[in-house]
Amino acid sequence: MKHEKMLMLFVLMGLFILAFIVLTLANMIITQITLDFSGLIDTARDSTIWRSIWLTLYTAFLATVIAFIFGVPLAYVLARKDFFGKGLIEGIVDVPVVVPHTVAGIALLTVFGTHGLIGAPLASYVKFVDALPGIVVAMLFVSTPFLINSAREGFQSVDPRLENVARTLGASRWRAFYKITFPLAFRHVLVGAVMSFARAVSEFGAVVVIAYYPMITPTLIYERYISYGLSASRPVAVLLILVCLTIFITLRTIAGVRRHDRD
């Protein structure tokens, strides 16, 4: 009986935060549809808006791929090994989450800018300021912790004895990793990748400092808001929300199906 009361209390508390999220998003969408549906249709027909959305999704995807390639190995090491300075490394991984993103953008500019630590030597080959690579590095900086932390939790959930058994049966460490550990931790890695991608899509502060152009959708929404007001920026925001909802519901569904198949 007490357990049921506690569960009911938790459900009510959970509904409160869900209502907060749904109310905020639904109110904007419903307001746009009821007050200016033609504006939403015009926005959906605007090729400039779609180019901005595709640029946002494309650069977020590139940032997620880079985070996956370099972040998953680090997550595995953090999950499997104890060593001096491990806490420091874990803290460094989490820093992008707590640093104000305008500060992150300025820091990235000092590294990847025209006269930056990396930007200057590569100036003849790669341009970061107001260019696609600048957007990618800004998204990568703020989104990487989500993938690393989720993947680390996944690897920690896999019993190391399974790897040891595989090794005793003749499998190399690499084969034990990609045949046993990675598949068992895959859902955590996938969820981390989805969250990393989502964080990259939503990034504004760091991107606007290092690469205002070409405009990703958050920057475009900001520019329309300060230039023309809410009526001009809201339909773009609604369209981006609808696109993101479609993508992330699909990805979450895929993750859920894979988990069901594995179980």
Domain coverage including residue 148: 39-262
Residue 149 lies in a domain: yes
State residue 261's pLDDT score.
56
Predicted pLDDT of residue 135: 97
Burial 99-108 (b: 16+ CB within 10 A, else e): eebeebbebb
Cβ atoms of 43 and 236 within 8 Å: the answer is yes
User: For the domain that residue 48 is a member of, what is the CATH number?
Assistant: 1.10.3720.10
DSSP class of residue 153 equals H
Q: Would you state the pLDDT for residue 168?
A: 82
Encoded tokens for 38? 């033609």
Q: Is residue 8 part of a domain?
A: no
In Å, the largest CA–CA distance within the chain is 71
Rounded CA-CA distance 111/134 in Å is 11
Reduced to 3 DSSP states, what percent helix, strand and coil does the chain have, rounded to the nearest 5? 85, 0, 15
Residue 238 lies inside a defined structural domain of this protein:
yes
One digit per residue, pLDDT tens: the chain, 263 residues? 666 778 888 889 999 999 999 999 899 999 999 888 898 899 999 999 999 999 999 999 999 999 999 999 999 999 998 889 899 999 999 999 999 989 999 999 999 998 899 999 998 899 999 999 999 999 999 999 999 999 999 999 988 888 888 888 877 888 888 888 999 999 899 989 999 999 999 999 999 999 999 999 999 999 999 999 988 999 999 999 999 888 888 877 776 655 555 55
Does a structural domain hold residue 28? no
What is this structure's pTM?
A: 0.89
Please check whether residue 197 lies inside any domain of the structure: yes
Residue 167 lies in a domain: yes
In this prediction, residue 215 carries a pLDDT of 94
199 assigned to some structural domain = yes
Tell me if 16 is assigned to some domain: no
Say what angle helices 132-156 and 101-112 make with each other, to 10 degrees. Answer: 120
Q: How far apart are CA 233 and CA 224, in angstroms?
A: 5
Count of structural domains within the chain:
1
